[in-house]
Structures are given as C-alpha cells and as structure tokens.
Amino acid sequence: MLDIHGLDVHYDGVHALRGLSVTVEQGEIVALLGNNGAGKTTTLSAISGLVRPGDGTVVFDGQEITRDKPHTIAARGLVHVPEGRRVFSTLTIHENLQLGGYMVRDQAEIRKRIAHIYELLPRLAERRDQQGGTLSGGEQQMLAIGRALVTGPRLLLLDEPSMGLAPLVVASVMRLIAQINAEGTSVLLVEQNATAALGIAHRGYVLENGVRILEGHAVELRADPRVADAYLGGMTHEPN
C-alpha cells in the first residue's frame, strides 16, 4: 500500500533521513521506533508532502506521490495526524470534526462518519458542544484522530499519539488505533513508547540518525535484546 524507497531528506541543515526504505501493506499497523532525532517525524512529513525529499520515492497504492502537495496526498486517502494534536481550541468538538470533512463533498457522508466517531468515542459525543481547548490531553488526542477519520483515510499516519499522556490514557489511545485498524484502515505509527506501539503493531522498524537499523515482526522486535535494552527499559518478556 505504501512503498518508501531510498528516501533522503535534509531538514533545517540536518541530514534527517539517509536512504530510508519502509513499506506498509494493506491492513497493517507498522510502528516506526527510535529516540528523538532518529528521523521518525521527518519520515511522516516527507510522506505527507510537508517536507520535500532530496532523493528517493514515495509510492502510495501504486502511484508515486513524492512531489505531490499535501492536500492532494490527503485527498488520495493518506491522512497525517501530526505530533501535538493541534485541535482548534476555540471550536467545539463537533466543529473540529466537521472540519475533518472539508474535502468531502457529500454532506450526508460527513454526518455518517461523525456519527460513527461518536460511537467509537462516546465521551466526545457527550461533550460535543465543548470547546476543544478545554479538553484533557487524552481527549484532545482522541479528537485529533477522530477529525482525521472524517477525512476518510485508507492509511493513517500517526505521530506520537501517546506523548504526554498518562499510562491508562495511552492504553485507551492504543485500543482506539487497533479498533480503527480492525475496521479497515492501515496505520503507520510513530512512537517513542515502544512498549505501547509494539503491543498493537504487526511489524516495526527502528530508526537511528535517519537510518533504518532494525526491522521485523512486532513479536520479534519485542524479543530482540537490542530493542529491549534501548527502548523497552530492558524488558524482554511479552507486555501484558
């Protein structure tokens, strides 16, 4: 579904990606792991057209999108939820969700998608008239993901959805991502919380200084002592 080959990106004077190759198959959750500065966010930005790569290709569903503009890429069904949630703080939950449908011409389809999000996230439904800026961090993250779903993604790019959230809230966010995937949306998930990411991912890649240093099935990565020592706090057993 997504084929990134030989991606090379210089960003703010830094060689952020160095010949990176990553794939996502239809129906997968693929985790991109690594420490700060590893190139994870730059990878998502290059895929979604926010950053122009110097070399390499990005192919989505058989069509090259390397030089396409962000709105064109989103219209194809490749939707990016950036780090930091970025909800519209003075707009209500419902208004935020409506903005997710700005490229959807069919108003009935927008209403249908929002209704489904309220089913997935009843807490948002209860507070639909509350301003986005008054929500907790976890609720804002749920809203940001919900707003992206109104766009109708076939592949969802999620950048650090667990950042700054309490462990119980992180678990709720990961359950939501797994449910979205079970309903047919593929996911490329950038996370520093490797334990949470590998708990729901099918496969994963580990980046370091813009280079892919490890890849494998999630079970294999969880059992790999190099991943356990660097990203799982030395934990080599299966997470609960």
Distance CA 20, CA 44 (A): 12
Cα dist from 27 to 43, 119, 214, whole Å: 20, 22, 22
Domains and CATH numbers, the chain: 2-86+152-231 (3.40.50.300)
Query: What are the beta bridge partners of residue 217?
Result: 203
Which of 167, 170, 196, 200 lies closest to 185, judged by CA? 200
Rounded to the nearest angstrom, the gap between the alpha carbon of residue 8 and the centroid of all alpha carbons in its chain is 20
pLDDT of res. 90? 93
pLDDT of res. 239? 36
Do 11 and 51 touch, CB atoms closer than 8 A? yes
Residues 101-117 have pLDDT tens digits of 988 889 999 999 999 99
pLDDT of res. 233? 57
Q: What is the pLDDT along the chain (240 residues), one digit of tens a residue?
A: 999 999 999 977 889 999 999 999 999 999 999 988 899 999 999 999 999 999 999 999 999 999 999 999 999 999 999 887 789 999 999 999 999 998 888 999 999 999 999 999 999 999 999 999 999 998 999 999 999 999 999 999 999 999 888 899 999 999 999 999 999 999 999 998 899 999 999 999 999 999 999 999 999 999 998 888 877 654 443 333
